[in-house]
Structure 1
Amino acid sequence: MTVDVLVQAGSAQRGGPAPVSMIERMTLILDAFDGASPVRTLIDVAEHTGLPRSSVHRIIDQMVRLRWLAHVPGGYRLGTRALELGGLAVEHNEIRDVVSPLLHEVCQRTGMVGHLGVLDGPEVLYLDKAVGRSCDSIPTRLGGRMPAHCTAVGKALLATLEPSIVELAFRERLPQLTPRTIGHRAELHRELDRVRSHQGVAVDREESVAGVVCVAVPIRGRAPGAVAALSLSGRLGGVRAPGTSSLARVLVEVADEAARAVFPRYARWQ
């Protein structure tokens, strides 16, 4: 029998769909390391997940090499990579708790859609979204992701990084979401230079969603870079909004207030 057939057979005995993808199997294995059982043997993990022991052994070996798990006396435990990501999740939650009231207030005041986002590799992860009064909907969501190179939030964050980091993070050809999306890495570098020359204010001119414009500014930390970025978005021809310069001034004030509020909590993660 093949591994997939064995997995399907074990799943059938449990009465659920077979976890056929590697991500599903890794997730099942990570879920086995709950607070009550921080250390598990290979047999424990196989029994807990319902996966074949041979598959569990092979996957755990890979997860140890990638630092998702660590080999310890008596079995395995969560590795440093899982713990690092857990720390980042706490950090993001604290940033959102502090900044969210400010973001929602400015959206009610301007009537626009607001986002709080952080960089996750070459993408933006949205930690929060707020919608102003009578504002048209924009196809983004809390916990959603967008390519950083085509969003105002992403460009505001990328502009705080060294150009060499951006060079390594992006391929020469960039995915295009609209006809206005930046398509080449060199063009992205020029755009980030413009953002830096405008005190960190970034603009999305229908680059991520057709008919939507957006302005963003970074929330700067004590370390180089930024801890997050705030943006205000609106549809062309929708709610009449202030010009980008007016929005930028509003966002800079909010970002400064957010930074003052975040630092007492954020400082310990530096």
Structure 2
Amino acid sequence: MPDTADVPAIRRAHDILRTLAAQPGPVKAAELMRACNLPRSSLYLLLDSLERRRWIERREGGYIVGIELMALGAAYLRHDSLQTAFHRVAAEFVARCNEVVQLAALDGFEVVYLAREDARRPVRLVSDLGLRLPAHACALGKAMLAGLDPAELDARLPAKLARVTERTLATPEALRRELEEVRRDGLAQDREEVTAGLVCFAAYVGVTPLGKRLAVSTSIPSDRLDNAHRQAAIAGIRQVARELAKLTAALP
């Protein structure tokens, strides 16, 4: 059923911004016109308005998300002290395991990355702040989906699950079976389901007073994941989740 309160201009601007945010580089106007299904005249009016407000910027013959939109988005993270609490406990994990730690929230059926504490060595990551990933594909998403009651999970679950790699769970039935394991073990895993050669472990943190459903994870290249390192990383990420849960309970 269509939303009768929807404002077309805002919906179209939102579609443009989401399209730009999903791409690693500038997007040309012709590509935006196709992706957003907009007439040429409407598109250019919106692009001009967004550019004047610095929500978007021209770059290399196309458009990117602008600095003003970045500043506005950063205000979301200032509404609580979540990042400060996260970095405090994540730094201890990095000191012990020398692996990255990531914090994310659940938005619908997507994971949104909110913060990251980097290791002291390079790792192949896709977790830029603000990035969205389908929840069924990553350990963070599975950790948060497992905390939903069955009715809420069904309401969020799409009929078809998109594959990110050939290892991504492809059916709702497969996802439900894995979520049962997550509930039993208190740990979610991504076995090269987002990035080939990268394994992730995640643990559920909880829901903040502002209603954010949170989880933390670590991502480790499979070629350096021996059994001892695996066990240390799993124990460590569970500890991060427990400590962050205590701190977030006191957030505004």
Whether the TM-score (by the shorter chain) exceeds 0.5 is: yes
* Match among 10, 13, 20 for residue 23 of structure 1: 13
Q: Are the aligned partners of 2:102 and 2:117 in contact in 1 as well (CA < 8 Å)?
A: yes
Aligned-partner Cα distance in 2 for 1:203–1:253: 16
SS in 1 for 2:249: helix
Distance 1:26 1:112, change over 3 A: closer
**What per-residue deviation string (whole Å, max 9, x for no partner) do you get for residues 231-256 of structure 1?**
01111224768444432221222211
Secondary structure in 2 matching 1:140: coil
Q: Which runs of 5 or more residues in structure 1 are unaligned?
A: 1-18, 28-51, 57-85
Gaps of 5+ in 2: 1-8, 18-41, 47-72
Q: Does 1:176 align with 2:163?
A: yes
How far apart, in 1, do the equivalents of 2:11 and 2:149 lie? Answer: 36
Partner of 1:176: helix, strand, or coil?
A: coil
- Matched ranges for 1:79-94 at <5 A: 89=76, 93-94=80-81
Native 8 Å contact 1:115 1:232 kept in 2: yes
Following the alignment from structure 2 to structure 1, what is the Cα–Cα distance between the partners of residues 246 and 147?
A: 18
Number of matched pairs: 191
The one of 191, 194, 199 equivalent to 2:181 is 194
Please name the residue that 1:143 is paired with: 130
Q: TM-score, normalised by structure 2?
A: 0.66
How far off its partner does 1:24 sit? 6.0
Q: What is the rounded CA distance, in whole Å, between the counterparts of 2:200 and 2:240 in structure 1?
A: 16
Listed as ranges, the matches of 1:70-219 within 5 Å are: 89=76, 93-198=80-185, 200-219=186-205
Q: How far did 1:107 drift?
A: 2.0
- C-alpha change, 1:21 and 1:114, in structure 2 (3 Å) is same
> C-alpha offsets along residues 52-87 of structure 1, whole Å, 9 cap, x if unaligned?
9xx99xxxxxxxxxxxxxxxxxxxxxxxxxxxxx9x
Change (3 A) 1:20 1:234: same
RMSD: 3.3
What is the aligned-residue identity percentage? 30
Residues 169 and 127 of structure 1: CA distance in aligned 2, closer, same or farther (over 3 Å):
same
2:135 & 2:78 partners in 1: Cα distance?
A: 20
Counterpart residue number, 2:213: 227
- Cα distance in 2 for partners of 1:122, 1:105 equals 30
